[in-house]
Every structure is written in C-alpha cells, then in structure tokens.
Structure 1
Amino acid sequence: MTAPVVLWDLDGTLLDPAGAITGGIARALAEHGHAVPQDLRRFVGPPVGWSLRAFTDVPEEEIPRVVATYRARYRTEGLAQTRIYPGVEALLEQLHGAGVRMAVATQKPEPTAELAVERFGLGRWFETVSGAADDAAAAPRDGAVHDKPAIIGEALRRLGVAAPDPARTVMIGDRRYDAEGALAHGIDCLGVRWGFADEHELATGFAAVAGDAAELGELLARYTQPAPTGR
C-alpha cells in the first residue's frame, strides 16, 4: 500500500499571519495613494495581484509596484508577526512519525513560502513547498481566477504522485480556493475554522471542517490510517 499524502495550505492553515497580510496590504495601498478596502480578510488566500484587481481600484499599471512594496515589507516585518497555529506542530510530528508524506501547496510566491517554512522550522516535515510563480503580480492568463489547481498539481508531481488515490490523499486549507484546487485533482479538502473563511465559505466544497488541531487529526485518520481488515 502506498503511503498517504497530505497537502497543506500555508497562511490561515499552518501559519497565523496575525495581521501581516491584511496590515501589509493596507500600508502598501496607502503608501501608493490608494484607498484601503474595509474587508481586508478577503486578501488572505488568493494571489495579491488578483486580489488587488478584484477588490480595489488600483490601475493595472500600478499593481506591480503595490505588490512589490507589500512583499518587501512582508519579508522584513510580516514574518516577525507570524505564528504557528496551536497544536499544528504536534500534529505534523504525529503524521510524519506515521509515515505520512506531506507537502505545502500555497498561492504565496514560492520563494517567500520557502522562507516562511524555513523560518518556522517546518521543513523537517515537508518534502517540498509548491507555491505561485514569483510573477504573480501579472494579470492571470486564460481567464484563470487563481492557480491553486496548478500549485497542487506541482506538489503532487514533485512527490511522484501521478494519479492521487482519493482514499489516501487529502488537501487541508482554510479558503474555497483550497477546496476548488483539490477538487480539480479528484481529492478531498478538509477545512479549518481557525483561518480566514467564514462559515458560509466553509460550508461549500469541503469534505469536513475541523475546529482545532486535535479534531483535524481525527478527520485525517480517514485518509492516513490503514482500513480495518475483516476475517
């Protein structure tokens, strides 16, 4: 039997940005003279460039500058505000000890995601970090709203999982983008309530939703433990 595979989103799932994203976006917009939207939680999950197009009136030609300002501050200030969610490290250690293969699949630019994983000592549990291309400020091609399906696909490719077993492979995330990306590959997505989605968003597309790390561990048992055999 092949080893189970668990893919993890980063912000809102493994890491609590603690205002690093929302505050960083607000400061970058203000610094460039643009209005700051009231609901900044919507910016956590999708690529920053896409969110600026969807939720602000920033002209297309100015988006790369706003994104560059936000990213520079995130590396110098945002990571210092970030924390690992309670119970997550213990769960990762438990899964790793049980032979579960794990990877990060995030819409954060891959170099920044790798930096965050390294800073918080998460690399010992993950075989790879699959993130967005570093040109995420560019306009999306082919009408794609977000690139989570491609990011999940790349994580699976790096793990050598050409055809994921839906009974042994699962995504964990906090936004609908995670559920949509998992669905594109025929696998379930487990949601977490400690992230940035409201109850309405969590009610659509997720196989189940966990309220804390202990409950998430119980939900993961369906995918990570061998099925009982009858006599």
Structure 2
Amino acid sequence: MNRAWPPGMTPLRTTRRSNGPGVLFDLDGTLVDPAGGITVGIAHALTAAGMDPPDEATLRAMVGPKLADALLTHTTARPEQIPGIIASYRQWYATTGMAMGAVYPGITDLLDALVDAGITLGVATQKPRTIARTILQTHGIEAYFDVVAGAPDEEALMPGEQGYTPGKTEIIAEALAALKPTTAVMVGDRAQDVEGAHANDIACLGAGWGYASPGELTEAGAALVVADPKDVTPGVLLSLAANLQAAPQQR
C-alpha cells in the first residue's frame, strides 16, 4: 500500500506503533535528492554577501553537515557573517530551492515495505527540525515517520551558545531516545551518518545514491554500501541491526 499523499495533504500520525525494530534515515541525499536546491542556494547566498562561491565539488561536500559548520569549513566566511548568509540562503531555499528536490526513485516503495514489516521509522538530519518537517510534508512522505530529529531552528548558533547541537551523534541519540526501538540501524549518505551511528552503538547502511565522495562511506565504516534504494530491503536492514560488527562491503 502506498502511503504517500499529495503535497500539503500529509496527515500527522496521532498514534505510535508498538516498539520494535527501527530504522533512522538521513534526509538530504538519502530520502530526498535536493537536485541543486542546496548547492545553488549556497552559491546564491555567498554571492549576495560579496564572496565568490567555491567550486561545484566543494558545494556538494557542503550537503549534509550543519550549514554554519560547512560555511566555516569550506568558505572564507567569518563567524560574524554566518547569520546573514544563512538568512539569505533560507529565503532563497524556501521560495525556490525546496521545490527543486524530489524523493529518490525506490524510496517510497522501501518505506512501504518497512512499515508493512512492522519496522518503526524516524528521520535524523542536521537540517533544522521545522524545515525538515516541511520538506517531508512537501514531498508527501512525513506520515511514514514517528520521529523527526534535527538541528535547532536557529542555524547560526555557535559552540557554547544555548541550544547548540554539536552534530549527528547527538541528533541520532535524540531520535533513538524518542523512538525507543528494540534494535536499530541508520541509513545515510555521508561519513557523519556512519560516525554518528557508531557513536550510538548502531550500524549504518551507506546510501551510495547520495552525496558521498568515492570511498567516503566505506572508509567511515559503513556496514554495507548500496548504490540504489531499490536494492535495500527490510531483511537487509534487519540483518545489519542484528549484527553491529558486519564487515564493510559493497553491494
């Protein structure tokens, strides 16, 4: 049964399924292909701030990490410039960039299969929580997920400031605490997804269809790297959840 609804019509789940096995998904590059909505938006915001944007490979490397951290790591932006750049980016993304994305082919079928198998689903993303929910609603897949854990809505928070969330480890921990699965596995397309999963004592399936550079997921220690969501099954994910020491391999 397909549980996707037209944009704007996704109902909020009002009851939770019983605790059982769980799967956490990253958002950009795993569930949804931003299709340039992020990279073009970052370039737009940097240009508006009077800076030359980095090359396309560097912009792609900025998809996944927290935007403030990515700007400080990959551009010449200074800390005091970050709030303005993020505000410019978010304005462009809300009006133009979000609509450029699309759910990856095969993801909806995978979500259907997981729910039908009695697996509880959550999202663990470094995108701000409110924006993450809006993206899920826009693409008609929010109803699949019992938990959406993300970064604070105030993206320009710096280390030491109240409400700052250091990274993927803490976001995955938040999702697991809310979901309370008996066993769990993470699905994500960047090294921080793998590292955050390991820090929470769960395995990670590498979403090879996303934005990782060649070898990134295997080097980070993904239990399995899959090139196409159509090749991911409930059985594959349950086996990884049951075997945290699965040797890295390529599918």
TM-score normalised by L of structure 1: 0.89
In the alignment, structure 1 residue 63 sits paired with structure 2 residue 82: yes
The answer to whether the 8 A contact 1:146-1:177 is kept is no
> Which residue of 1 is the match for residue 226 of structure 2?
210
In the alignment, structure 1 residue 131 sits paired with structure 2 residue 150: yes
The answer to whether the 8 A contact 2:185-2:241 is kept is no
Structure 1 residue runs of 5 or longer lacking an equivalent are 226-231
In the alignment, structure 1 residue 220 sits paired with structure 2 residue 237: yes
In 2, Cα distance between equivalents of 1:5 and 1:102: 6
In the alignment, structure 1 residue 147 sits paired with structure 2 residue 164: no
> What amino acid is the match of 2:222?
F
> Which residue of 2 is the match for residue 104 of structure 1?
123
> For the aligned residues, what is the CA RMSD?
2.0
> Which residue of 2 is the match for residue 228 of structure 1?
none
Q: How far apart are residue 221 of structure 1 and its match?
A: 4.2
Identity of aligned residues (%): 43
Structure 1 counterpart of 2:134, from 104, 115, 138: 115
> Which residue of 1 is the match for residue 71 of structure 2?
52
Local SS of the residue matching 1:189: strand
Local SS of the residue matching 1:191: strand
Q: How far apart are residue 67 of structure 1 and its match?
A: 0.5
Structure 1 counterpart of 2:34, from 17, 21, 29: 17
> Which residue of 1 is the match for residue 62 of structure 2?
43
In 2, Cα distance between equivalents of 1:80 and 1:10: 15
Local SS of the residue matching 2:99: helix
Q: How far apart are residue 140 of structure 1 and its match?
A: 2.7
Q: How far apart are residue 213 of structure 1 and its match?
A: 1.5
Q: How far apart are residue 138 of structure 1 and its match?
A: 2.1
In 1, Cα distance between equivalents of 2:89 and 2:111: 30
Which piece of structure 1 moves more, 103-112 or 205-214? 205-214
Which piece of structure 1 moves more, 54-63 or 215-224? 215-224
Structure 2 residue runs of 5 or longer lacking an equivalent are 1-17, 243-251
The answer to whether the 8 A contact 2:189-2:210 is kept is yes
Distance 1:146 1:196, change over 3 A: farther
In 2, Cα distance between equivalents of 1:136 and 1:85: 26
Which piece of structure 1 moves more, 169-178 or 211-220? 211-220
